[in-house]
Amino acid sequence: MKPVKVISFGEILLRLSPEWNNHSAALYVGGAEANVAAALARWGTPVAYISKAPDNGIATQVLEQLESLGVATDRMLKGGDRIGIYYLEQGTDLKNAGVVYDRKYSSFSQLEPGTVDWGSLLGDAEWFHWSALTPALNENTAVICKEILEAASRKGLKISTDLNYRSKLWQYGKQPFAVMPELVQYCDVVMGNIWASHQMLDTALNTVALETATKETYLAEAASVAKEITEKFPRCKQVAFTFRFSNAFTHNLYYATWYEGGELKVSKQYETNEVVDRVGSGDSFMAGLIHGQVSGMDAQQTISFAAAAAWSKLFLKGDFNLTDKADILKLI
């Protein structure tokens, strides 16, 4: 296996963005954890991606897309019949009700517990990343998350997760807060937002105070929720939250926070009315956090880079962030 610093694990997906007037659809390779891997590779962090895909021509071409960006795919699992698909209007947010998933019976969703030697696949990597999208698929993928997290912990990897919530997933009879805490106990870094944390980890949320909708209130809540996470999950020492607000199709106001050692660091605030594609912005943020940490950035540098990385993705079509590191640094 090719030696890497970071391993990202999750379901590989294809995205179709229909353009009905032209009787066509833009096709992109995606999936949250693949997006993280693609951005890390772009910025020079040695990274491998682990998923499961069928042994067919389309899957081969998908992996070639990742390899061309510098993502190692030699740890990929092969088997099953199909790659999952999702349909999304160009420029729409994944949290929007417009997303339609076609992921049932995908190769990844059919993974069986107890069938993979995760320790061997993890090799000598330093960092393991996963997201809440995997345990959202079905009970087996939730069990598999625990298997691989235990293996990563035994090998001493630093572990990060993204608390991304998709209401159209989580359809197998369990709520996120019944599944996620058991998995988050293995994490050193937790990324998400204060609302997802409340939904997935049952952390407190001062809804009365938040009605003021001021930045001061949001930042105070970010510090409070992050502190609660580090107390509930002693292994977790770093918590990052994003704040994204949109009042029109192409509008976005954005800033982010990093909590560590009782201190809250805040990124620059960005605002635009020229959003091109919202998909992958959160994944770019997560990749920015990982890149910052593995390359030796301090807390303020890490959150500044991650926020700028997320911001840069809003102006690129597709799921992957292909912005050069030098251009991201200019945004800070």
Per residue in 90-122, pLDDT (tens digit) is 666 655 557 899 999 999 999 999 999 999 999
Q: Single out the residue of 35, 40, 1 nearest to residue 15, CA to CA.
A: 35
Residue recorded with tokens 């296996």: 1
The whole-number pLDDT of residue 99 equals 86
Across 150-167, average pLDDT: 96
SS3 212: coil
**Helix (H), strand (E) counts: the chain:** 11, 15
Q: What Cα–Cα distance (Å) separates residue 282 from each residue in 57, 67, 240, 312? A: 30, 22, 11, 11
- pLDDT at res. 91: 60
Domains within the chain, CATH numbers bracketed: 6-330 (3.40.1190.20)
The model's pLDDT over 282-316, given as tens digits with 9 standing for 90+, comes to: 999 999 999 999 999 999 999 999 999 999 999 99
pTM for the structure as a whole = 0.96
Predicted local distance difference test score (pLDDT) of residue 97: 57
3-state secondary structure 117-182: CHHHHHCCCCEEEEECCCCCCCHHHHHHHHHHHHHHHHCCCEEEEECCCCCCCCCCCCCHHHHHHH
Are 145 and 162 in contact by the 8 Å Cβ rule? The answer is no
Say if strands 252-260 and 238-245 run parallel, antiparallel, or are unpaired. antiparallel
Q: Can you give the pLDDT at residue 92?
A: 62
Rounded mean pLDDT, 111-138: 97
Nearest-angstrom CA–CA distance, 243 and 255: 5
The alpha carbon dihedral of 144, 149, 150, 156 has a sign of: positive
Percent of the chain with pLDDT over 90: 89
For residue 200, list its beta bridge partners. Answer: none
Dihedral sign computed on CA atoms, order 304, 310, 312, 314: negative
pLDDT (0 to 100) of residue 93: 61
Dump pLDDT digits (tens) for 163-195. Answer: 999 888 999 999 999 999 999 999 999 999 999
Q: Calculate mean pLDDT across residues 204-231.
A: 95
Residue in the structure block whose two tokens are 């962090």? 45
214: its two tokens: 């001021």
pLDDT tens profile 22-51: 899 999 999 999 999 999 999 999 999 999
The SS3 call for residue 293 is: helix
State the chain's mean pLDDT as an integer. 95
pLDDT at residue 136 is higher than 60: yes
* Separation CA 40–CA 182 (nearest Å): 27
> pLDDT value at position 158?
98
Percent of the chain with pLDDT over 70: 98
Please give the single-letter amino acid code of residue 234: P
Determine whether 247 is exposed, middle or buried from the number of CB atoms within 10 Å of its CB (0-12, 13-18, 19+).
Answer: exposed
* DSSP 8-state secondary structure symbol assigned to residue 4: -
Q: Determine the 3-state secondary structure of 111 from DSSP.
A: coil
How far apart are the C-alpha atoms of 52 and 227, rounded to whole Å? 36
